[in-house]
Amino acid sequence: MVGKNEIMSEEELDKLIRFIQYAREDINQIVKNISLLLPMQPELCELIQRAWEKEVYPKFDEMKNYLKNRRPLNELAVRGLSGSQLEVELRLYELRRKSFIQLMEKLRRPQQLGILKRIVRMLLYSIQTILESLCFIPGSEAIKQFKDALIDAVS
């Protein structure tokens, strides 16, 4: 629980903005490689890529700009995006992101598809944990819906 005088620090806000940038990069990598994850569904892959490029990708800039311009530090703190809570969520995300990046670098064998799908789901769930606390920011709902669709697609 956040006390009267507790608000998110500027440093924590910067970390959150970096998270949004990294989350966009990660989802972009997933979408770029969606045909690896869904090899038998080329039409679905094309729809996912089109939705990402035209509708969802730009929403990340909306979120970053909102945070940079409005700086809703207290509201973010109340939603658990400060202090140790933020550090835990970011650390889990970073661990899953690292696993995803390492696997993407060496994945080219079909037998690794199950592992990749599991890592992608875990990464998307880590992104979801933080995104849910950002639901008041314009653009976040579209990202959340797209992320949910990706989880469904790779499940």
> How does pLDDT run across 42-94, given as a tens digit for each residue?
999 999 999 999 999 999 999 999 999 999 999 999 998 999 999 999 999 99
User: For residue 13, what are the CA distances in angstroms to 70, 71, 133?
Assistant: 11, 8, 13
pLDDT of 114 reads: 85
- Measure the CA–CA gap between 106 and 91, rounded to whole angstroms: 23
User: What's the length of the chain?
Assistant: 155
Residue 104 confidence (pLDDT): 82
Mean pLDDT over 128-133 rounds to 94
Q: Which CA distances in Å does 78 have to 8, 119, 138?
A: 9, 30, 18
Higher-pLDDT residue of 143, 102: 143
Q: What's residue 7's pLDDT?
A: 79
Q: In this predicted structure, which of 4-8, 66-70, 97-101 has the lowest mean pLDDT?
A: 4-8
Residues in contact with 101: Cβ distance below 8 Å, sequence separation at least 6, in sequence order: none
Q: Residue 5 above 60 pLDDT? A: no
Whether the CB-CB separation of 120 and 38 falls below 8 Å is answered with no
Q: HSE of 134 in the Cβ direction (CA atoms, 13 Å)?
A: 28
Query: For residue 8, which phi and psi values (nearest 5 degrees)?
Result: -65, 140
What is residue 4's predicted lDDT score, i.e. its pLDDT? 45
Exposure b/e, 74-85, CB count within 10 A at least 16 = b: ebbbbbbbbeee
The helix/strand/coil state of 6 is coil
Percent of the chain exceeding pLDDT 90 equals 81
Q: What is the C-alpha separation between 9 and 16, in angstroms, rounded?
A: 11
